[in-house]
Amino acid sequence: MSDKKNSTEKSPTHFDYDAIIIGTGPGGEGAAMNLSKQHKSVAIIERYEQVGGGCTHWGTIPSKALRQSVSQLIEYNSNPLFNASTHAKQLTFQDILKHASAVISKQVNLRSGFYNRNGVEHYLGEASFVDLHTVRVLKKDGSIEQITAKQIVIATGSRPYHPSDIDFNHPRIYDSDSILQLAHAPRHVIIYGAGVIGSEYASIFRGLGVKVDLINTRDRLLSFLDDEMSDSLSYHLWNNGVVIRHGEQIERVEALDDAVIVHLESGKKMKTDCLLWANGRTGNTANLELDAAGLKADGRGQLKVNSSYQTEVESIYAVGDVIGYPSLASAAFDQGRICANAMINGQNNTKLIADIPTGIYTIPEISSVGKTEQELTEAKIPYEVGRAQFKHLARAQISNNLVGSLKILFHRETKEILGIHCFGENAAEIIHIGQAIMQQENGGNTIEYFVETTFNYPTMAEAFRVAALNGLNRLF
């Protein structure tokens, strides 16, 4: 980004710190750890009472912990070894929240230790800019402290989008953060928004036996996925009793004492115990007083940065959800690490990998890396497909995880792997085997690797060998 803005105010001759990091999620942590390990004095500012950011307290960690508990419950109830002589075990949302709380506590202790061991100063309070080198910290007791730094990183993350006409203080209306405070046991949940978060919570609630309506504002589920993966998830949710309503928009929400009535623009009307709003997120920049530092967020509360994660103000950087795509915890940590290098060296010689894997923790999971069939077809790249069905794998039969498949897309002529897509239990783990091969250079990235190597047996990794053989057999 060119034409960096400089403050008209005179910069202080001495700074309290080399860098201030606002926010302690993955992006802030990645920046803080890298800077401190390179002997920079670093301060972090966190408005919540514990470090970890939304990722640890409201998003990635708790939702995946909930998902794991429900997945184990489903496995228990479906395994004849356990359910032959007993009734199906029932759990409530509150029961599985206990597991999530324990995981959160462990993560907080771990991350707090990182900051302490690396000598990072921790400020608890709400941060806002005074100028491009000065940050005000409003503490819980109302006192204010100002600190200065040569450089500042904004890593404040995002929050669920709240339309002004929806009462999110109502005890029956939740967003993807506040759902963790769900106090009652609903029999029916309507989830508005069928993106990653909405689809994951649809799996969680349905796995607990709750009736679920999933309202999708688009015409297909998770349309960024390979079509076969999207269709597999749609079928699996439908087969388990989730009602998916495509192409619908909410017109208004009527909140009663003991229920919520959702009115759709199509004229449909539905009554539910609980509404979970999972449609859109907004960058956490509203309270930062960005104007004081010469910055301005866009309509979604996000900041624009260059390839070094530098904003239009030379001394201020931004990473994570607050800059938008890809909005992944894994990518945010790497952005923070790369950003720290740019802050120290004045330039950025490293970038995020081109093919960032996506993990969607529905039940079963979905994970992808690389191109989809639609993208390759549109680009007129001659590709072939290799598939492996989990139900044919010995390890899947042993563990009774028979639902799922692995798909490898590869170039017909060079055999280069172009994309890998996995649907099934542990998909987000399995995908990394293929990702590692895709990253090989000098001819190392070919589907033939999976045929020529020897896998442990029985394992789920064997799916790569089965899929590779299946794909190569299609060539002529």
Least Cα distance to 359 among 373, 369, 374, 370 occurs for 369
CB 276 within 8 A of CB 191: yes
The span from the CA of 132 to the CA of 150, in Å, is 9
409 near 459, Cβ under 8 Å?
Answer: no
Residue 476, pLDDT score: 85
Strands 281-283, 211-215: parallel, antiparallel or unpaired by DSSP? unpaired
pLDDT of residue 273: 94
Listing DSSP states for 331-342 in one string gives HHHHHHHHHHHH
Compute φ and ψ for 408, nearest 5 degrees. -115, 130
Q: DSSP string spanning 29-55?
A: HHHHHHHHHTT--EEEEESSSSSSHHH
Query: Helix count (H) and strand count (E) of the chain?
Result: 13, 22
Residues in CB range of 327: below 8 A, 6 or more apart: 158, 281, 321
The whole-model pTM stands at 0.93
Domains and CATH numbers, the chain: 17-159+282-345 (3.50.50.60), 173-278 (3.50.50.60), 364-472 (3.30.390.30)
Give pLDDT tens digits along the chain (476 positions): 434 544 444 455 689 999 999 999 999 999 999 999 999 999 999 999 999 999 999 999 999 999 999 999 998 888 777 766 666 788 889 899 988 999 999 999 999 999 999 999 999 999 999 999 999 999 999 999 999 999 999 999 999 999 999 999 999 999 999 999 998 899 999 999 999 999 999 999 999 999 999 999 999 999 999 999 999 999 999 999 999 999 999 999 999 999 999 999 999 999 999 999 999 999 999 999 999 999 999 999 999 999 999 999 999 999 999 999 999 999 999 999 999 999 999 877 888 988 999 999 999 999 999 999 999 999 999 999 999 999 999 999 999 899 999 999 999 999 999 999 999 999 999 999 999 999 999 889 999 999 999 999 999 999 999 999 999 999 98
Give the three-state DSSP class for 243.
strand
Cα 253 to Cα 159, 177, 190, 217, 270, distances in angstroms: 21, 19, 11, 16, 10
- Start-end of H helices in 367-425: 373-378, 394-399
Write phi, then psi, for 151 (nearest 5 degrees): -135, 150
